[in-house]
Amino acid sequence: MTVIEDTDGGRPVRDKVLDTFQERLVDIWARDGFGLADPAGTAGRIRRLLDGPGFEPAARALEDLGIRTTWNKVFAERRAAFLADWLAPHVHGRVLDVLGGDFTVLRALLGTGLAARDVVGCERARAYSTDWSTLPFPVLDLGPDLALPAGEFDTFLICTVLHHEPRTEEFLASVARRGARRWVVVENCLDPANDEEFHFYVDEFFNRCLNTFDVPCVHQHRTADQWRELLSGYGTVVHEETRANVPGMPFPYTLMVLDR
pLDDT digits (tens, 9 = 90+) for 235-248: 999 999 999 999 99
pTM, entire model: 0.93
Q: Tell me the per-residue pLDDT of 130-175, one tens digit each, with 9 for 90 and over.
A: 778 889 999 998 877 777 888 899 999 999 999 999 999 999 999 9
CA distance 97 to 180: 12
**Is the pLDDT score of 233 beyond 90?**
yes
Amino acid (1-letter code) at residue 88 = A
CA distance 52 to 221: 25
* Residue 76: its H or E element: none
Where do the domains of the chain lie, and which CATH numbers do they carry? Answer: 89-193+216-259 (3.40.50.150)
Classify each residue of 40-67 as buried b or exposed e, where b means 16 or more C-beta atoms within 10 Å of its C-beta.
Answer: eebbeebbebbeeeebeebbebbeeeeb
CA distance 5 to 16: 11
CB atoms within 10 A of CB 15: 13
Tell me, what DSSP letter sits at residue 189?
Answer: P
Q: Tell me the per-residue pLDDT of 177-231, one tens digit each, with 9 for 90 and over.
A: 988 999 999 999 999 999 999 999 999 999 999 999 888 899 999 999 999 999 9
More confident residue, 150 or 19: 19
Q: State the sign of the Cα–Cα–Cα–Cα dihedral 217, 223, 229, 234.
A: positive
| 3 state DSSP class of 26 | helix
**Is the pLDDT score of 1 beyond 50?**
no
| Helices 13-31, 39-50: crossing angle, 10 deg rounding | 150
